Structure formats: C-alpha cells, structure tokens
Structure 1
Amino acid sequence: MPNDIDNAQVRLVEEYLEPEPAKISPGEYVRTRISTLRPPMSKVANPFTLLASLNRTQWLFFLCAFSSWTWDAFDFFTVSLTVQPLAKQFGKTNAQITWGMTLVLMLRSVGAVIFGLLSDRYGRKWPFIINNLLFVVLELGTGFTSTYGSFLACRALFGIAMGGLYGNAAATALEDAPSEARGVLSGIFQAGYAFGYLLATAFSRGLVNTTVYGWRPLFWFGACPPVLIIVFRLCLPETTAYRERAAIRNSTHHATKTFLEEGRLALKNHWLMFVYMVLFMSGFSFMGHGSQDLYPTLLTNQFGFSPDALTVTQVVANLGSITGCITAGHVSEIFGRRLTVIVYCVVGSALIYPYTYVSTTAVMASAFFLQFCIQGAFGVVPSHLTELSPGSLRTFMVGTSYQLGNLVSAASSTIEATMGERYPLPPTKKGVKRYNYGLVICIFLACSVGFTLILTLIGPERKDVSLKVLHPPEIEGHSGHKEKNVGDVGAKESV
C-alpha cells in the first residue's frame, strides 16, 4: 500500500504540478533572440485603473511586502552611509569597512535558500515574521558593537536574515494580484529598495554624529519599524496561491513528500532557467551596488561634498530610482520585459561619465537620470523572475537567484574602494587622503551595464504567464479531463 501511494503521488506531481517546459532547439532559440524583442504592444489600462483593480486583501499583502522590502534596503544602506564614521570608530580604512557590506551580500544567498525552502513548504507568513524578528535583534546588535570583529559578525548574520526576505516578499506582493497589474506592482515593489535608501539617507543626516553616540543611533532606530511590520503580517492570512498549492499537497496525505518531489522535478526541468536567472541577477547586482554603495564616499572624499550636499544628492538620485522603477514596471507590460531592460541599459550607459566626473552639485541631474535607468530597470525584476520560476519553488528560485546574484557581485564596493586607493589624488588642506573613485566606478559601471544588456538580449521571457494553481478534478477524486498547473506552462519560451 505505501508503494502504491508513493507512486500515485509521483504521478500526480509529474502530471499536474510541475510539467516540463516546452522544448526549443538551440538553433531556433538563438535565431529568435531578436525577433522576440518585438514589442507585444499590449493594450494596458492606465496605472491608476490597474491599481484600483486590487481588492482589499491584495492591497494589504502588497503593502506589507513593500514595507518589509523598503526596510531591508534601509538596514543595508546604514553601513554604506556611515563608512567613514565606522572607519574612524574601529581604526580601519574605508575599504576594510566595506567588508561589512560585502559579507551581507555574500551570505544573503544562504538566507535565500533556507527561508525560500521554508516559505515554499510551510507558507509565506511565519518565515516572513522570523526574518523581521532577526532584523530587530541584529540591527540592535550592530548598534552596540565595540570591535571591528563583532561588527563584521553582526553584519554577516544580518546577511542571512536579509537574504531570506526578497523571495518571500515578492511572492506575497505579486502572486495573488491580477496579472494585468503585475507590471506596475512589480515596479512599485522594487522601488521600495530606492525608497529605503532615501529614508536611510534622510535619517542618517538626522541621527549620525548629531549626538554623543555618533553613528549608533541610526542602527538603533533601524531596529524599530520591523516590529510594526511583524504585527502587520500577523494580522494577514496566507496568500491564496500558496493555500491552493498546499491544498493539492495535502490531498496526497504526504505533503512533505509531495513538496520534495515537486522540488526535484522543478530543479530537473528548470535548472538551466535557474542558472540563467542567477547570471541575470548578477549583472543587475553589479550595476546596482556598483553605482550606489561607494557613491557617498566618492562625493565626500573626492568631490568634497558637505553632509547637506551629500544628503540632497542622494535624495535626488533615489527619487530618480523610484520614478524609474515604477515607469519601467508599467511600460514593460506594453513593450515586454526584455526590451524594457535593454532600452534602460542603453540610455543609462550614456550617463555613466557625467555621474562619476561632474564634481559640482550639478551632478544631481546625472544622478537622477542614471538611477532612473539603472535602478529603474530593476522595476522589471520582481515580475520577470516570478514569471520565469516554477510555481512549487517560486519563493526559493526568485529569492535564491536574486541573492546568488548579490553573492557574485558581493565584492563590488570592496573592489571599487581597493582599486580607487591605487589612484591617489592630492590630499585636502587638512591632510585627508583623497582617491579617484570616479574613474574606477565609471569603468566598473560600463562593464556591468554591458554584461546585463547581453544577458537580457539572449535570455527568455514569460510575460503574462499565470501564477495561479488550478485544482485538477482527479486530485479531488472526481473524473474528468486533466488540467495542468498553468503557473508553469503557457510561457512564450524556455531555455
């Protein structure tokens, strides 16, 4: 009897939950890379109409996910914005302090794997809550560190906690939303990253070095909002998409075995797609972190910006990021995911030089439009990754590919800082050492944008694929025709 159940369970998973993607020959795939860029020119309602199509529960899911992603970014950039005070506190160089960012990026993939699997097996709710609880503990811990070693230890553990959030938050925000609103919601959701950076910039100006505690109040404050986000999530149920999939698993009476079989088949059928998603996100991460993480240091050390000028420039840049994300997410519904990313990369590449070489406050214009393009292209990422991922491992594949991309690009700020110190500039009148960070960031960004553009051109697209799970009649014990999980089929193409 157990063998019969196990065999039936395997057949159920193979037939209904994880169908193998449609195959296409390598030659045909290569030949269609240009032709598939043709804009679908889908008729899309204005974004306000699309947003109005969400019901109350869908809005609450989205707002909760958006809030958590915003604060994830806030917590990450607390180090980026306090590099020089931290270096002074611990008696280290700027390059050594940037390891506090590098370790976070390196270990995010560990958190993505752990919390991604937990979220796909046990639901979005409790892994999300645990993530935010860890934010509270570790952000407080960072604020109380007294040695360089303990600072790095806290940030390393923080990386694991932060890595587990993205896939869960993206699934919570998008999987129950109407498909036609997915693009604009994707853009708004991803804009939470830039909004978090903007908030970190503003609060760092008000909290860093304005009291006897120096940089620490920024980290102490960062531990507070996750408490409210935890309460918010406690008041919400599981997403409908997850409950539907859980119901199918539970109908086999072997939910864990079914989940493991789903995972095996998903990786077997979609491993090449997963590899592509990691490479794709590596390019995006190189662009994002290469353009942002060391930029405050460039403005203050090389260009001599005052704290006020730095704050205004960063706020303007992040307003560009937010505007770009929302715009890209929405227009990708009209022109397609890949073409939108390619256009943003091409336009952004023309802005790299002024972004890194204009040494006056006029650089704010370059900062706005470059981040409109670089971070704006990120507005396509949540919906694009979600559509490329198989439903049974959606949180795992979205979160892990995103964070493995961060792992590959983890040393961006450290590379830029180390290379920049090889190009010294005349010191300030007070004897402070200066370095040509602009040259290094300019070259680094040009390479990153080119890499991302090529990866997008050769990659697949599954715009408009359904994310819902249909209940096959056979699973419920009735006769009838087979209905497959449309969340994993109906794609334009596969790799």
Structure 2
Amino acid sequence: MALPLLLRNLIPRREQRSNARPLWTVLKSLTWLQWAQFFSGWLAWTCDAVDFFSVSLSVVHLQEQFGKSTHTITTSITLTLLFRSLGAVIFGVLSDRFGRKWPLVFNLVLVAVLELGAGFVQTYPQFLGLRSLFGIGMGGIWGLAASTSLENLPVEARGLASGFLQQGYAVGYLLAACINLKLVPAVPAGWRALFFTAAGMSLFAAVLRAFLPESEYFVKAKEEERQKGVHKTTGEKTRIFLREIKEMLKTHWLLCIYAVLLMTAVGFNFLSHGSQDLYPTYLQTSKNFTPHDSTIATIIGNCGAISGGIIAGYLSQYIGRRLTIIIFVLWIGAFIPLWILPSTFSSLSAGAFFVQFGVQGAWGVIPIQLAEMSPPAFRATFPGVAYQIGNMISSASAQIEATGGENMRTTIIKDGVATDVPDYATVQGIFIGCVAAFIIFITIIGPENHGSHFEKAKTAFEDGAGREEVTGADPAEKATGSSTDEESSAGGVVDEKQEVEKDEKAGAAVSVEHREKAGLA
C-alpha cells in the first residue's frame, strides 16, 4: 500500500481549476496595493536576511574583536536560531489574532533596535545576549511576511510569488555581502557598520508597512461583522481565538508534526544554514581565499540562489510543489563535488552558484507549500512556528560544521608553506549530502494542497476556524464537482487521514460555499 502511495506522490500535480487564467493576465490585473503589500512582505524578509548574515560575514572580524575561536563566535548564530521559535509563536499569534499590519511593524522596529545595539557592544557576553534577544524579533518575520505577501495575491500567481518572496533571503545575503565588501573596509566603524546599516533597513521596512493598509483578508472579516451586526468585544474574540487554537492542534496534530519534520530534523533549515552560515569562513580557512574573494564568491552564490528560487516557484505552479522540491534537491547532490573539491576561485564560485541555485530553488517553493498545507486561519502562526522550530533544531548547524572541521584536518599551501587547517569542505559535503537525502524522503511522503484558496477561510477569531480545511480547488467548484483536483489536494502521511475525513471535508466545502453566497467570504 505504501509503495503505490509514494509513487503516486511523484506525479506532477498541475492545478485543475475551471477558471484558471494565464499567469501574464493575472500579473497585469494586480493593483498597486497588491504589489505594494507583496513588496512590503518581501522587504521584511530581505531585511531579516541582512540582519542574520551580518554575523556570518563578520565571523573573522568578531574573532579579532573579542579574541574568540570560530566555534565560540558561531555560538551567537546558534542562540539566534534557537530563540527564533519563541518569536514565531509570539508574533504569529498576534498576527492571526489582530491582523498582519501592526504586529509586523512592531516586529521590524524591535529587530532594528536590537541590531543597532549589537553594533555598539564592547564585550562578547554583551554581543551574545543581544543576539539571543534578537532571535526572538527575527523569529516573527517570516510567518508575517509570507502571509502578508501571498494571501493578497490571486491563486495563479502564488507559485511565482513564493519563489520571489523566499529569495528575499538571498537578496538580503547579497546586500549584506556587498556592504561587507565595500562599506566595512572603508569606514572607521569597520564590522559595526554592517550592523548599523542593517538596522536602518529594518526601520525603513517598518515605516513602509505602516503606511500600507491592513491585509484585505482581515478587512473583509471586519466588514462581515458589520454587515451581520455582530459586535464582539476584544475579550470575546480572544477567547474564541484561544479555543480555536486548541481545536486546530487537536484536529491537525499530524500535520503539525509533519511540518516540523519537513523544516527541521535534518530538513530544510539544515540545508540552508548548513550551506551558508560557515561558507565565508570555509573559503578563507580551508581554501585560503582573501576576505575580498570570499565575499565575491558569496555574492556569486546568491545570484544562483535568486535565479533558482524564482524559476522553482514558477515551475511549481505547473508540476506541483513536491515534485519541484525533489528536482532541485537532486540538483544540489549533482553539484556538491564542484562546491567542495576545487581550489581555484572560478571553480568554487561556479560550485557556489549551482549549489545555491538548487538550495534556494527548493526553498522557493516552501512559502506557498507551507501556506497551502496550513490550517487556513493560522497562516502566520502555523508556517512561522514550523519554520522557526526548524531553525531552533538546526541552530547548531554552524557549530557542527565548525567542530567537525576542526577535528578533520587538511593541508593547504599558505604563503608558500604547507599549513594544517580545518577541513570544512569535506564536512560540509557530507553534511549537505545527508540532508538532501532526508529532504527527498520527507517531501515524497508529505501532503500537497496545490492551488488552495486559503483566502476564503474564516479568520482565527471566528467560531469553527480551528477545524476548517481548504483543499486544492476553489471551495465552490469543489462542491459543485467542476474541479478534478480533489485527488491531488493532499498526499503522503496525511492522505489516509484525509480519506477517513472525506465526508467531513465535503460538508466543510459546502459550508464555505454558503458563506460565499451570503457575501461572507
């Protein structure tokens, strides 16, 4: 029974909606407000990357500043990732309860303040403490940015938008690398200038989001209440919200476990952080690159990441989310040798480009994959917490590679002398290879709600939101039988559960249809 199921999950799952429009037609129909809200989410995620990679790009400078080893400095990366899950819970709950706008604005302001503070520290304990607090602020950004960007766009554009959104992270890494390359050596503040600049960018993103209106999803919910003459107090809404969270966890517990496995336990977060966090240090230590050449190679790698993410996001709209992920992870495996074996700048830079093309290509599908599989009323909390729990468990990836490299040695010629150095290349190759194999397996056995109309769901403070599900097709089409996407709406570990609940789903779909006819969705 399991084997046919695994094979079935590899079949391309193109959307089969009767009213689907060509992508170009959809893009031309977008309003300036839809573009602006997407950009605000993308910018928030980009700033998150600049903030995070400020440390990765400054490891050598921080070693000199505080007199610490690579392993000790990367503790700050570990603690930042460790505390991000707490931030995801706090800001995700605030966003699903009160709306997308002001929780994201406050989140960005907090990040800006803490990043600025990190630029003024004088001791390593101070730096470690601030980066730990900083992790809480960073933890909220992804869930809020993804929900803000995707829920305001038509279904047909969400695959491409997902690729663009996720590559905000690669763009942020690219911007941080450029700042590190040009600004840091040119100003008296040195490495601190990177942190100051990152703080300013996050503050700008907060101001931009503050000038834009609330997400249409929440505006419609308030309008429904007004039309029905319902005036619930804040306390009543909060009590309903807390009750529906419990219902969501009780109804979707298996899905929660799967999402965490996908994003952690040698999953996606190990893939990205394992291939990025120690990469500049690896080039300088194991390959004898100068800081300048190391930064250039990082920039080239991120150009590959950006292109890979966008292409994968677009492709996933036509062949499905899971199959796209699998293709790009296999791509990574093919180029690992080019990523670690050469010693020349050109070859290693090419390896960085192609590996990051695959890494961020697979990642480019993740925002929409998580959004579509999520309980629809909890699209900030559920994906954000799954994502950041993955970060928490993968938080030690840089330290694992640093420790492994220090224990596994190699010899390079440095200044004409044979020098014993950590073998980060071999460690990273083995590490990423194992992670890639796991991701292929966990993706094959998982669900897929390709083309989910999650924007038609209830808000999290409405009765029944915790038990509501939105499947692959438009609920109205599903109820009338005009779509054949039901069989492809989910698979893997959740398929058997969905078979048992088929009758309940049909009833939920009809319920959503009635809400639409009444003008409530």
Report if TM-score (shorter chain) is over 0.5.
yes
- What is the match of residue 356 of structure 2? 371
Does residue 493 of structure 1 match 2:490?
Answer: yes
Q: What is the aligned counterpart of 1:360 among 328, 344, 347?
A: 344
- What is the match of residue 38 of structure 1? 11
CA offsets, 1:289-339, max 9 Å, x none? 111111111111111112332222111110110000000001001110000
Does residue 442 of structure 1 match 2:429?
Answer: yes
- What is the match of residue 185 of structure 1? 161
1:248/1:471 contact within 8 Å kept: no
Q: CA deviation at 1:348?
A: 1.1
Q: What is the aligned counterpart of 2:197 among 221, 246, 249?
A: 221
Does residue 78 of structure 1 match 2:63?
Answer: no
CA offsets, 1:72-92, max 9 Å, x none? 001100000010110111010
CA offsets, 1:144-173, max 9 Å, x none? 111110001111011000001110110000
1-structure distance, mates of 2:140, 2:83: 10
CA offsets, 1:220-253, max 9 Å, x none? 1111112221221111111111333456678472
1:421/1:436 contact within 8 Å kept: yes
User: AA paired with 1:70?
Assistant: T
Q: CA deviation at 1:449?
A: 0.5
Does residue 452 of structure 1 match 2:439?
Answer: yes
User: AA paired with 2:42?
Assistant: F
Q: CA deviation at 1:120?
A: 0.6
Structure 1 range deviating more: 180-189 or 365-374: 365-374
- What is the match of residue 515 of structure 2? none
2:376/2:469 contact within 8 Å kept: no
1:197-208 superposed matches below 5 A: 197-208=173-184
Structure 1 pair 159–489 and aligned structure 2 pair: CA distance change class (3 A): same
Structure 1 pair 296–470 and aligned structure 2 pair: CA distance change class (3 A): closer
Does residue 416 of structure 1 match 2:401?
Answer: yes
1:47/1:330 contact within 8 Å kept: no
Q: CA deviation at 1:36?
A: 3.0
- What is the match of residue 511 of structure 2? none
User: AA paired with 1:410?
Assistant: S
2:107/2:140 contact within 8 Å kept: yes
1-structure distance, mates of 2:197, 2:61: 17
2-structure distance, mates of 1:247, 1:279: 38
- What is the match of residue 265 of structure 1? 247
1:93-492 superposed matches below 5 A: 93-245=69-221, 251=230, 253=232, 254-282=236-264, 283-361=267-345, 362-426=347-411, 428-429=414-415, 434-469=421-456, 487=470, 492=489
CA offsets, 1:381-426, max 9 Å, x none? 0000000111222110010000001111110001100110012334
Q: CA deviation at 1:433?
A: 6.2
1:30/1:458 contact within 8 Å kept: no
1-structure distance, mates of 2:48, 2:105: 13
- What is the match of residue 19 of structure 1? none
Structure 1 pair 48–74 and aligned structure 2 pair: CA distance change class (3 A): farther
2:13/2:450 contact within 8 Å kept: no
- What is the match of residue 11 of structure 1? none
Does residue 51 of structure 1 match 2:48?
Answer: no
Q: CA deviation at 1:431?
A: 9.7
Q: Secondary structure in 1 aligned to 2:246?
A: helix
Identity of aligned residues (%): 42
User: AA paired with 1:262?
Assistant: E
Gap regions ≥5 residues in structure 1: 1-26, 477-483
Give the number of equivalent residue pairs.
459
User: AA paired with 1:33?
Assistant: L
Q: Secondary structure in 2 aligned to 1:421?
A: helix
Q: CA deviation at 1:470?
A: 5.8
1:47/1:184 contact within 8 Å kept: no
Q: CA deviation at 1:347?
A: 1.6
Structure 1 pair 394–245 and aligned structure 2 pair: CA distance change class (3 A): farther
Structure 1 pair 394–248 and aligned structure 2 pair: CA distance change class (3 A): farther
- What is the match of residue 3 of structure 1? none
Structure 1 pair 90–222 and aligned structure 2 pair: CA distance change class (3 A): same
Gap regions ≥5 residues in structure 2: 474-485, 495-521
Q: Secondary structure in 2 aligned to 1:34?
A: helix
User: AA paired with 1:453?
Assistant: I
Q: Secondary structure in 2 aligned to 1:463?
A: coil
- What is the match of residue 66 of structure 1? 42
2-structure distance, mates of 1:234, 1:248: 24
Q: Secondary structure in 2 aligned to 1:223?
A: helix
2:14/2:319 contact within 8 Å kept: yes
Q: Secondary structure in 2 aligned to 1:232?
A: helix
Structure 1 pair 381–241 and aligned structure 2 pair: CA distance change class (3 A): same
- What is the match of residue 12 of structure 1? none
1-structure distance, mates of 2:43, 2:298: 20
CA offsets, 1:187-236, max 9 Å, x none? 00001000000000000011223333321111111111122212211111
1:108/1:162 contact within 8 Å kept: yes
1:102/1:411 contact within 8 Å kept: yes
Structure 1 pair 239–54 and aligned structure 2 pair: CA distance change class (3 A): same
User: AA paired with 2:291?
Assistant: P
User: AA paired with 1:36?
Assistant: N
User: AA paired with 1:293?
Assistant: D
1:469/1:486 contact within 8 Å kept: no
1:337/1:463 contact within 8 Å kept: yes
Q: CA deviation at 1:51?
A: 2.7
TM-score normalised according to structure 1 size: 0.88
Q: Secondary structure in 1 aligned to 2:30?
A: coil
User: AA paired with 1:449?
Assistant: A
Q: Secondary structure in 2 aligned to 1:425?
A: strand
2:9/2:444 contact within 8 Å kept: no
Q: Secondary structure in 2 aligned to 1:37?
A: coil
Q: Secondary structure in 1 aligned to 2:91?
A: helix
2-structure distance, mates of 1:48, 1:408: 40
CA RMSD of aligned residues (A): 2.3
Structure 1 pair 486–246 and aligned structure 2 pair: CA distance change class (3 A): farther
2-structure distance, mates of 1:38, 1:470: 28
Q: Secondary structure in 1 aligned to 2:9?
A: helix
Structure 1 pair 406–30 and aligned structure 2 pair: CA distance change class (3 A): farther
